[in-house]
Amino acid sequence: QDDACHRRIRAARERLGTRAVLLCHHYQRADVYQYADLTGDSLKLARLASQTDAQYIVFCGVHFMAEVADIMSKPEQTAILPDLAAGCSMADMANLAKVERCWRELGEVLDVEQQVTPVTYINSAADLKAFCGARGGIVCTSSNAGTIAAWAFGRREKILFFPDQHLGRWTGHKMGIPLDEMEVWDPDLEMGGLSAEQIQRAKLLLWKGHCSVHQMFQPAHILRFRNQHPDGLVISHPECSFEVCRQSDFVGSTEHIVRTIKEASPNTRWLVGTELNLVNRLAEEVKHEGKIVQFMAPTVCMCSTMQRIDPQHLAWTLENLADGRVVNPIQVPAHEAELARVALERMLAVS
Ligand code: 13P
Ligand code: SF4
């Protein structure tokens, strides 16, 4: 049955030719990733989506990535997500109603429009990107967060960063902001659970959100690795906790992790704090150079939503497209897309 599914994918791709391009995030499962035309981290995929001329952009990733592809592509192009249930649990930790409430509450103690730049991680719904676009704010990804935060601080004295507190904290730390000038905003509490003094003193307000995959990695995993392999190197994604990032030799986006290990000297050993599909693929790709690549956690942690894009969904999507039926299009409402594009284009111009 699996072979039949792969035959269907190959046949449909042949019928579609250059009308469809398959964009794949690094976390995609191997049985889908093998069909990628283009791969990358969120920033690279956002750029690629804005540059392709293909009629159909089949996004093997999660919902917010397909939304970005829709926003950044031309009106006659269509972004497609093979399974609409492929969301991002971190992106779901912030929504427009809660962010608008936060903005209102900040307005009770600050001149919020003058003092605060809203910065949303690209792992967020399109309406939050639109919120930023409308308020002089911007989008960032894990690979450009430092540059974007510097841009934001150049305009206003404070940043409201959502939804990933860990990326925000690590970025602030790398810029030299002391931890006691960063506060966590809990969207389920009145005034985020903060006093007026805490809000006035904070340079960086960090939304209380996190990634369920990256929270599995612990400093104890790094300690055990270093005891066993004193010459080993540790690389982590900035969605990991502050302590994990602090104890890593390198911290960066998925593209950065792939590039760093591929460009490293042969016969090196690596502990990697990011999703399992990426780590397994990388381990295979570099083992002929004597490089050993280990996953950080003892348990299996995959991005379960990304995993939903499987060969069955891909075959079904491509066959329908080849027959002229568009399935699972991702269409951001025009007014929202326009403002979200402002925040995304600011990001692309700055980074
Ligand atoms: P990258 O932009 O580094 O690929 O990260 C996306 C993501 O969702 C990581 O969990
Ligand atoms: Fe979202 Fe985490 Fe999956 Fe990345 S790994 S897409 S942040 S749930």
Q: Which atom of ligand 2 is found nearest the CA of 275?
A: 5
**Claim to verify: residue 206 and residue 226 sit in the same structural domain:** no
Nearest atom in ligand 2 to 61's CA? 6
Angle, in degrees to the nearest 10, between helices 334-350 and 42-51: 110
pLDDT at 2: 78
Per-residue HEC secondary structure of 235-288 comes to EECCCCCHHHHHCCCEECCHHHHHHHHHHCCCCCEEEEECCHHHHHHHHHHHHH
ipTM of the complex: 0.98
Q: Report CA(233)–ligand 1 centroid distance (Å).
A: 21
Do 208 and 96 belong together in one domain?
yes
Q: Residue ranges for the binding site for iminosuccinate?
A: 25, 42, 121-123, 142, 237-239, 254
Do 98 and 139 have their domain in common? yes
The answer to whether the CB of 41 is under 6 A from ligand 2 is: no
Residues 199 and 267 in one domain: no
Q: What is the pLDDT of residue 248?
A: 98
The reply to whether 345 falls in a domain is no
Q: Residue 350: inside a domain, yes or no?
A: no
Q: Are the C-beta atoms of 245 and 238 separated by less than 8 Å?
A: yes
The last residue of a domain, from among 212, 243, 264: 212
Domain assignment present for residue 60? The answer is yes
Instruction: Say if residue 60 is in the same domain as residue 115.
Output: no
The rounded distance, in Å, linking the Cα atoms of 72 and 300 is: 34
Residue 62 covered by a domain: yes
pTM over 0.95: yes
State which residues form the domain around 26: 2-87+305-332
Claim to verify: residue 35 and residue 10 sit in the same structural domain: yes
Domain count, the chain: 3
Among 159, 192, 212, the domain-final residue is 212
Query: Is 332 in contact with 126 (CB distance < 8 Å)?
Result: yes
Domain match, 96 and 206 both: yes
Q: Is residue 286 part of a domain?
A: yes
Judge if 117 and 200 occupy the same domain: yes
Residue 168 C-alpha to ligand 1 middle, in angstroms? 14
In a domain, 82, yes or no: yes
Establish whether residue 306 lines the binding site of ligand 2, counting it when its CB lies within 6 angstroms of any ligand atom: yes
Query: Which CATH number fits the domain that encloses residue 187?
Result: 3.40.50.10800
Ligand 2 pocket, 275 CB below 6 A? yes
Task: Look at residue 342 and tell me if it is in a domain.
Answer: no
Q: Which residue has the least CA distance to atom 1 on ligand 1?
A: 41
**β-sheet with 56-60: strand ranges across:** 38-40, 20-25, 56-60, 78-80
39 within ligand 1 shell (Cβ under 6 A):
no
Type of residue at 24: C
Q: Within a domain: residue 46?
A: yes
Query: Which of 25, 121, 143 best tests ligand 1's pocket when mutated (most atoms within 8 Å of CB)?
Result: 25
pLDDT tens digits, the chain, 351 residues: what are they? 579 999 999 999 999 999 999 999 999 999 999 999 999 999 999 999 999 999 999 999 999 999 999 999 999 999 999 999 999 999 999 999 999 999 999 999 999 999 999 999 999 999 999 999 999 999 999 999 999 999 999 999 999 999 999 999 999 999 999 999 999 999 999 999 999 999 999 999 999 999 999 999 999 999 999 999 999 999 999 999 999 999 999 999 999 999 999 999 999 999 999 999 999 999 999 999 999 999 999 988 899 999 999 999 999 999 999 999 999 999 999 999 999 999 999 999 998
Asked if residue 75 and residue 157 are part of one domain, the reply reads no
- Identify the domain boundary among 295, 318, 346: 295
Residue from 28, 142, 240, 277 to probe ligand 1 pocket by mutation (most atoms less than 8 Å from CB): 142
Answer yes or no: do 7 and 59 share one domain.
yes
CB-CB contact of 230 with 186 (8 Å): no
In a shared domain, residues 169 and 277 = no
The reported pLDDT for the residue numbered 1 is: 56
Question: Are the C-beta atoms of 141 and 122 separated by less than 8 Å?
Answer: yes
Domain co-membership, 59 together with 117: no
Contact assessment for residue 84 and residue 328, using Cβ atoms and an 8 Å cutoff: yes
Q: How confident is the model at residue 299, as a pLDDT?
A: 87
